[in-house]
Chain A
Amino acid sequence: MAERGRGPHGSAGTPPPRSRPPEAPGGHMVGGSRQPPARRELESKPLKMADDLDFETGDAGASATFPMQCSALRKNGFVVLKGRPCKIVEMSTSKTGKHGHAKVHLVGIDIFTGKKYEDICPSTHNMDVPNIKRNDFQLIGIQDGYLSLLQDSGEVREDLRLPEGDLGKEIEQKYDCGEEILITVLSAMTEEAAVAIKAMAK
């Protein structure tokens, strides 16, 4: 791990690399210290990004996040910063000295709270990316500040709060007027929130 030996040039805030499979001791001759695991995979079976992402088991067992090399992140994509699922609103690179290696500077906005987070790390590092889901449900009732939402399966879920603020008021008002509306629910890393409404097509 010589690249870490050289260090991120003293930036103490650099998080340790996450979710990265341990490297085989002795390693491969070819490929340098960066991506031996990746290379091995390249030669064997395709389509697996990393060990903790399982494609076959589907929804139930899917983990909340998956790792991605910093350089493959993109603006408007998502990333976990300080343990929070964030949307990347700014992404820039810099280096220390003309011959230094790239570092990525990320600015993200918490998709639930709107709080801003920043991080800087070597561009070879893996970052966690949250699995983001959006589902539309029909609103069939509002009770004690909770929404009653009709799921595709026909079951009704009643565990989602009526959002605060304008959207919440809008939902209540539309519901009171008897309008049929769909509610988009955003979920990531075990959190959920209603984020949008849309009048149902008649």
Chain B
Amino acid sequence: MMAAALGPPEVIAQLENAAKVLMAPPSMVNNEQRQHAEHIFLSFRKSKSPFAVCKHILETSKVDYVLFQAATAIMEAVVREWILLEKGSIESLRTFLLTYVLQRPNLQKYVREQILLAVAVIVKRGSLDKSIDCKSIFHEVSQLISSGNPTVQTLACSILTALLSEFSSSSKTSNIGLSMEFHGNCKRVFQEEDLRQIFMLTVEVLQEFSRRENLNAQMSSVFQRYLALANQVLSWNFLPPNLGRHYIAMFESSQNVLLKPTESWRETLLDSRVMELFFTVHRKIREDSDMAQDSLQCLAQLASLHGPIFPDEGSQVDYLAHFIEGLLNTINGIEIEDSEAVGISSIISNLITVFPRNVLTAIPNELFSSFVNCLTHLTCSFGRSAALEEVLDKDDMVYMEAYDKLLESWLTLVQDDKHFHKGFFTQHAVQVFNSYIQCHLAAPDGTRNLTANGVASREEEEISELQEDDRDQFSDQLASVGMLGRIAAEHCIPLLTSLLEERVTRLHGQLQRHQQQLLASPGSSTLDNKMLDDLYEDIHWLILVTGYLLADDTQGETPLIPPEIMEYSIKHSSEVDINTTLQILGSPGEKASSIPGYNRTDSVIRLLSAVLRVSEVESRAIRADLTHLLSPQMGKDIVWFLKRWAKTYLLVDEKLYDQISLPFSTAFGADTEGSQWIIGYLLQKVISNLSVWSSEQDLANDTVQLLVTLVERRERANLVIQCENWWNLAKQFASRSPPLNFLSSPVQRTLMKALVLGGFAHMDTETKQQYWTEVLQPLQQRFLRVINQENFQQMCQQEEVKQEITATLEALCGIAEATQIDNVAILFNFLMDFLTNCIGLMEVYKNTPETVNLIIEVFVEVAHKQICYLGESKAMNLYEACLTLLQVYSKNNLGRQRIDVTAEEEQYQDLLLIMELLTNLLSKEFIDFSDTDEVFRGHEPGQAANRSVSAADVVLYGVNLILPLMSQDLLKAEYSELVETLLSSQQDPVIYQRLADAFNKLTASSTPPTLDRKQKMAFLKSLEEFMANVGGLLCVK
């Protein structure tokens, strides 16, 4: 429109003025002017057939921004008017643009890129038309390249880069209003032919440059650009044929693209000169850290080559052998630069991940050995450098990243070891394992904190609770090292044992010296704590490695004893004296080497007992009043290890193994004195920790987790409940007295959970009766005694009454947590009585927010843990209780106004909990075990045939109840936060999208819901739809 109304000079003047406004500093123009200027450009770009004007602008205007807009206008108009344009004029437009750029070497970069983008879009749009000859552009580009002029060569590279990114995917490309299928088809055509041509051109340039002796700055900049281009080609995400629309998007979003070209690339990429070229290039530029990134990335991509490009296994073997040769030639005998570490480890990691084992083993033996030697050498060396990085507290931990990658490669390599002859990796595993241990131990055995200038004095830094524990932060490394330790069990297990035993002795001695000094001069300590801290740190790492070596961490599954460990123990069982072994195990207070015949014991059991010895030194120090000298971290490590160990080894289920080691089955098998002893020992440890370490929450938590492990399986629980200590613990906890009531609330809940789980062990009726009388009944009795007092209403605000109520509610949460399919019937009935009373409490404590909060939490937990098991009538009971609760809550809070400082946050917490409660109830719609598992058989007479009330009905009713309580602000801020939390927990992008859509729909009709009835109805209607959407979605899932 504008172009038609005004002549070209006027248009230019207008656009240049608008550009001035847009480029002006914010203080010089107002918003309106800015918007007007933007509008001018927008309508200019929409104008019909702007080609002549644009050409004119490009040729005459001196304002870069206007040139940029002209290029954009051409690009958009060409696509918009494609079918109306004559092919000849498109062709000439493209030539014009290319020539334009060529003739103006001094164009602003962003203008040049935009013009080249326009060229690329024209080529892409034409590629499926067959109307435009794409090949000509490559001809032109290759001429530019052969010109030898660096500026022109750079331009050629820019053209190719523009083409590449335009065709690379459907998401990164310019928005030219074409379908995803169109983009997909373009990409497929492009990757067969043109992409390869770009690659060939690039390779030629690289070859040329790699031959030159001296490169000046300008030339090496061109070199760098082509190297980056090569990297882009090799990282091309080859689109397979016949990939559906939905999958294209998923496919293209994948990170870490491996090189899987189509068959047509065979001659190009399997030509060994290509691979050699990239090795040569890297050798040439490896000291330039920027370029080395690209050349190593190219090599890493080549190392991941797979797919139809290989006609047969033989060609794959040849390729691999050739590649490994090239790699070894490149890195052997050089000192690796910091900037190379990650790249090199990526290459190795790709080789090991992508090439199948049988191909790996088919390359010449000597070559493969050299490769594994090289891997071993690099792993150890990167490990040492990573340790150094940690000491120096570097920001950029390149060696740590490289080390992680290599350790992961080891895990991949050795996991499927049937292709290699037995023991093939043992010596390598020993080396990597030793070096890991060495890096983590203090001098003289290790090199921890050692730098070139001696021992680095690490300042005692403040560590916040957010800092991950080493066992989680380094879990991948530890898993690899543990695996290597299993492979080399003959070496590693005795090594760990002797290192641990020696440190136990030293720790014992050091603590004794401290004690003597404290006795001699109380209050003043001149002994250095550094020695202790060093020992703790050593023991910390040794226990972590031992834990990962001896057992796997599994969730939900039954972890098995690793076969390597089992074999190792079996292999030596004939040389082992079982009695001495049991003696070593059963006397953690004595030095292992003081027991006669200690060398003829089972090594695995001796390693376990080394950890028990650490634990024993800890216990003795506590008894000797030295708790303040102990390390809570080490305490955590001990119980963490014991839990992991107990899960796997304690009361081994012999049915799960082909063969079982005699020492294991004698020491920890069912019906053995050993297992009874060790359970007693562990229980003692738990009880001691809970009283001594109540102030260390993480340690207390790990400790109760150990307790849960001991009772969650029936076989172990049966032994646990035979210990007098267990009963004492139960009684103590029920009496709510110190020290157990010093524990933090989550720990107390888990303890309650463990005590309840223990109650389902096998006992005679009388014992069971007695147990519940000790554990659960006091809870009920005390609670009823308090709430049934005549003057309860008057006393309810007294501190001790409130504490009693709080403790009961906390315990109820713990009981709910203990729910399992086989105890739900009993626990539900028990908890239901309380829930009814809790509603009464809600009334009494209506003005006490923290109690209200906790009451709702009990309901949340019960619904969370039990609803899925409940049959119809039980579920109805729970629904009713929940709705009554909400009614009472709603009645008490409608019309209440609070001003206390935390009023808003507290109300938010209530509502959040209520939403959680409703969500838990709703889960009945998707997860329901009650039909298949008749846990309530006999408990539930005469079920109605069809379900009259669904969870969704209940939830809708519940939302209706609390909606009036949500203020607008609360809804806006907190509700959307709730939604986001819910959304962010979704990992599957498809489900995420559907959920997000569902929520958008929910709020669109009535944002934000208010007290207004009409709006409320609208909201409820949307909510219903929402339930249907989400319900369907989760059912599908």
Contact = CB atoms under 8 A, between A and B. Distances in A.
A35 interface: yes
A198 B694 contact: no
Interface in A45-95: 46-49, 53, 55, 58-59, 62, 66, 69-72, 74, 76-77, 87, 89, 92-95
A197 B735 CA distance: 38
Contacts of A42: 732, 737-739
Interface centre among B743, B795, B850 (most CB of A within 10 A): B850
A123 B797 CA distance: 28
Contacts of B900: 111, 186, 195-196
B739 A71 contact: no
Nearest to A152: B794
A167 B696 contact: no
B891 A201 contact: yes
Contact of B896 (A1, A35, A165, A197): A197
A135 B537 CA distance: 54
B312 interface: no
Given A99-B632, A134-B847, A197 B897 contact: yes
Interface in B530-588: 532-533, 536-537, 540
Contacts of B461: 96-97
Contacts of B735: 46-47
Given A32-B625, A33-B628, A97-B533, A39 B739 contact: yes
A38 B896 contact: no
Contacts of A70: 695
A29 interface: yes
A94 to B, nearest CB: 5
A32 B632 contact: no
Contacts of A18: none
A98 B695 contact: no
A6 B529 CA distance: 10
A184 B524 CA distance: 53
A157 interface: no
A46 B736 contact: yes
Interface in A114-144: 114, 122-124, 131-136
B464 interface: yes
A41 B741 CA distance: 12
Interface in A152-202: 152, 163, 165-167, 170, 184, 186, 195-199, 201
Contact of A32 (B536, B692, B743, B803): B692
Contact of B696 (A29, A72, A102): A102
A101 B696 contact: yes
A87 B897 contact: no
B525 to A, nearest CB: 6
A134 B896 CA distance: 14
A128 B898 CA distance: 26
Interface in B853-901: 853, 891-892, 895-901
Given A39-B739, A53-B799, A198-B896, A99 B850 contact: no
Given A34-B627, A96-B460, A101-B632, A136 B847 contact: yes
A124 B627 CA distance: 12
A155 to B, nearest CB: 14
A15 interface: no
A4 to B, nearest CB: 8
Contact of B901 (A49, A111, A135): A111
Given A35-B739, A42-B732, A94-B463, 19 more contacts: A27-B625, A33-B625, A35-B694, A39-B738, A42-B739, A53-B800, A55-B800, A69-B694, A70-B695, A71-B694, A71-B742, A95-B462, A95-B632, A99-B540, A100-B460, A100-B463, A196-B847, A196-B900, A198-B895
Cβ-closest 7 pairs across A and B: A38-B738, A99-B631, A3-B628, A32-B627, A123-B695, A97-B460, A196-B898
Interface of B: 460-465, 518, 522-525, 529, 532-533, 536-537, 540, 622-623, 625-629, 631-634, 691-692, 694-698, 700, 732, 735-739, 741-745, 794-795, 797-800, 803, 847-848, 850, 853, 891-892, 895-903, 905-906, 909
Interface of A: 1-3, 5-6, 9, 27, 29-35, 38-39, 41-42, 46-49, 53, 55, 58-59, 62, 66, 69-72, 74, 76-77, 87, 89, 92-102, 109-111, 114, 122-124, 131-136, 152, 163, 165-167, 170, 184, 186, 195-199, 201
